[in-house]
Amino acid sequence: MQVFLIRHPPPLIEPGVCYGRLDVDCCEPGPFADDLRSRLPADIVVYSSPLRRALRLAWTLSPSVRVDARLSEIDFGEWEGRRWDDIDKREIEAWAADVLNYVPPGGESVAALRARALDFAASLPDHAAIVTHAGVMRVLLGHWRQLPMADSLRLEFAFGEFQKIEI
């Protein structure tokens, strides 16, 4: 199995704002798509998060994108759209103390994100490109590389980054 994980282009949102599930647009995806097209097989099936910042890039890669909500970024609930500095420090500390299981008010835990991402991965064909978000990429790549969860959560991905995985 060969999977290409692709992070969306930079979002059009002020730095320092929490925007997990928040559906914000992205910068022009064309230059990212031009680079990616040369590295992807011509007949690759492209899956995408339904969030605009991923979907816009996916559409430039393929006219027949398969949209799947399980590829959405983590839902930060009441934190969405707020500056990180404005979120109660006690809530941030509680999250930091148990990143895997803590649920932001009205949101979801990393464990829930992981469960839905792995459920999606179980349905993949032999070759697929996935346009998604850093959180989803962390849990999928960590799973496929058999990394401890703490190591998976430390993985960093640049906007527009491309990861090829042989499974």
DSSP type of residue 77: G
The contacts of residue 38 (CB under 8 Å, 6+ apart) are: none
Q: Taking residues 36-43, report their average pLDDT.
A: 91
Is residue 21 over pLDDT 90? yes
pLDDT, tens digit (0-9, with 9 covering 90-100), for 94-139 = 999 999 999 999 999 999 999 999 999 999 998 999 999 999 999 9
Q: Tell me if 21 sits within 8 A of 74, measured CB to CB.
A: yes
Is residue 84 over pLDDT 90? yes
- Name the average pLDDT for the chain: 96
Amino acid 154: pLDDT: 94
Residue bearing tokens 């914000």: 24
Question: For the chain, which residues make up each domain, given as ranges?
Answer: 2-134+145-166
| Distance from the first to the final alpha carbon of the chain | 5
Beta strands 45-48 and 127-132: pairing type? parallel
Q: Tell me if 149 sits within 8 A of 66, measured CB to CB.
A: no
Amino acid 42: pLDDT: 86
CATH 3.40.50.1240 fits 2-134+145-166, yes or no: yes
Residue 86 token pair: 């404005």
Amino acid 159: pLDDT: 97
pLDDT tier for residue 15 given thresholds of 50, 70 and 90? very high
The contacts of residue 163 (CB under 8 Å, 6+ apart) are: 4, 5, 6, 137, 141, 157
